[in-house]
A and B are shown apart, each in its own frame.
Chain A
Amino acid sequence: MRELTYSDAIREAMMEEMRSNPNVFLMGEDVGVFNGVWGVSHDMLAEFGPERIRDTAISEMNIIGSGLGAALVGMRPIVEIMFGDFLMCAGDQIANQVAKARFMSGGKANVPLTIRITSGAPGSAAAQHSQSPESWFMNIPGLKIVTPASPADAKGLLKTALRGEDPVLFFEHKMLYAETGPVPEEADFSVPFGQAAVVREGKDVTLIGVGIMVKKSLLAAEMLAKQGIEAEVIDPRTLVPLDKDTLIKSVAKTGRVVISHEAHRRSGPGAEISAVLAEDAIEYLDGPIMRVGAKNVPLPYSPELENHVLPNENDVYEAALKLCGRS
């Protein structure tokens, strides 16, 4: 299978949908002439023109709110938020308008709006350009929350988002943009929401990773293998909806679980996943549910401090080792 970068996989999903449906368009800060600050929409302006690749003012409220308005009159907007940290500028529009439009109207409002967001620490971007805000929005019913970890999932999940009728927050980790991997070429390829991926099979411990922590959990699994521990790595792929069954099934097999994400540990996605496992899988557990996440401080600028705060494969490895009684 041909290989694509995570970034180009996202671009390909957008371009395919834009070619097949004239109501799909992209707007955001510097998505056109600049090619996207992260380069994801490079050269899309040349193919689709400024009507459908729209450079906006730096106005996050209006970007998201007008995405909603366009969706309500039958368009299928893709809006880009350059840094996930900026979502808070548009807080009301996301939490009170986009998420609730369908419900408040008695189910009548159709909101096919995809909000593409970059998340995660790209290195020394400091506290306002490095956050992983997925879980801030998990407490808002009405949104779907997607965290692709591979190029194939990035394309497949984005296709599902763009063909659906619900608002989706699509979190793209900045440090995954350059990752390459096989991506199916079939035009109808998509990845459904609510289906976790078993990325590596194992019987001794389950490593649930979110976003970039899937990659780091795989590295941890290799380190564990050298210690004779077979780790199963699971990527939930979508946090809302959450595929509880696959998580529970894995924990039932291994009896041990480490959940990791780049978001802060306190009330990160792992808190919800832990609660689900505590409610529905406690009888299978041979030890505590372990969580690995960024320390509960704003992300620092200094590379040394930042590395100290961010979670990595060693943190996952050590948590798993401890669970297996080996540390």
Chain B
Amino acid sequence: MQTGPEVSKYKDLYARDLLAEMFRRMTLVREFELRAIEERRGGLIPGFIHSCVGQEATAVGASLALTDEDVITSTHRGHGHLIGKGGDPKYMMAELAARAPGYCNGRGGSLHIADFSLGILGANGIVGGGLPMATGAALGFKMRGEKRVALSFFGDGATNEGTFHEAANQAGVWKLPVIFFCENNLYGEGTHIQRCTPIDDLAIRAQSYGFPGVIVDGNDILAVYEATKTAVERAKAGEGPTFIEAKTYRHRGHYEGDPQLYRTQEEIQSWMKKDPIKRFSKALMESGLFDDGDLEELQGSVIMQLNEAVSFAEKAEKPAVEEALAGVYADTHNGLVF
């Protein structure tokens, strides 16, 4: 399992701004999730929430290794990916609240947020649904000779979906600039990966498709960042896909309200000790680049940003009901499609 560099090397290896941004975005993801859960309880958010609390390092580490021109496909547990790729919490919160100025004008909700201007091709309500899409985007980049990559986030459960195997095979054959990024949080909904998959390391599946499969500590943001950087370089050099299996854990249930009968408190507590944000803040302070005050300031700015996002969502108009018929097609042929 790949881990990040020693704390003593941070100074030489990374710009302070990048490290600060990693911390800020991870904190933003965490606080966004906690706030969304609160606002759902309070009634602002009508739909369900699959929070990614505990998986901030994978979402942010992988996204920050990409450029603005690169694209991602996301999952049902996608808020972290969206924020990682630069999504604005204001429009995300408004979408969760089903408001008109939300990312999808209230038509998509948590599972379907997309922002094509940021290269976010969409969260997805279907396990494994985005893998072929990322493969196709990578095909488009390759055909046009553009130095761009597509990264598909998916969970351990998706590696048992046909889309994973079909997409990985074709991407391997065509050496497409695509990164298959598996967040192995051990559970596909309520079923432990070992109860539904006969291997321990999912990364070995890459072998059958002719490209490297690497395993990283998914709670170590710099490990995730470095592995993704390497995969991006490989993709942009025309060498084809990489499968990254990031071992991580979701602190909360599959969805808010999940009774979690499938796992023990001891297991949850043992992973809480490996909390990716606590771990990174500790390392940042040990590196001598940041002190308590610096991190508190970053955290404070995140809280402010989320207060603004919630306030924006609360005040935002609800979509006009006629809007339900808009945006199904580019051309409705004078309404005949309905």
Contact = CB atoms under 8 A, between A and B. Distances in A.
Q: Which of B125, B138, B331 has the most CB of A within 10 A?
A: B331
Given A108-B116, A166-B330, A73 B107 contact: no
Q: Which of B124, B150, B166 has the most CB of A within 10 A?
A: B166
A71 B135 CA distance: 11
A54 B330 CA distance: 27
Given A66-B135, A241-B333, A106 B71 contact: no
A97 B328 contact: no
A74 to B, nearest CB: 6
B7 interface: no
Contacts of A110: 330
A73 B71 contact: yes
A62 B167 contact: yes
Interface residues of A, number: 52
B141 A57 contact: no
A107 B327 contact: yes
Given A92-B126, A241-B333, A65 B136 contact: yes
Given A57-B170, A65-B167, A104 B108 contact: yes
A78 interface: no
A105 B108 contact: yes
Contact of B114 (A57, A69, A108): A108
A60 B203 CA distance: 24
A284 B89 CA distance: 57
Contact of B137 (A61, A73, A92): A73
Contacts of B136: 65-73, 75, 77
A126 B126 CA distance: 32
Given A66-B132, A92-B129, A104-B112, A109 B122 contact: yes
A243 B162 CA distance: 38
A215 B121 CA distance: 43
A121 B220 CA distance: 57
A58 to B, nearest CB: 9
Given A73-B137, A109-B122, A62 B116 contact: no
A240 interface: yes
Given A52-B143, A54-B174, 18 more contacts: A57-B170, A62-B166, A62-B167, A68-B133, A73-B136, A97-B129, A97-B133, A105-B103, A105-B122, A106-B102, A106-B105, A106-B106, A109-B114, A110-B330, A144-B337, A166-B331, A241-B333, A241-B337
Interface of B: 71, 73, 102-108, 112, 114-116, 121-122, 124-126, 129, 131-141, 143-144, 150, 162-163, 166-167, 169-170, 173-174, 326-334, 336-337
6 contacts: A54-B174, A61-B162, A70-B136, A72-B121, A96-B129, A165-B331
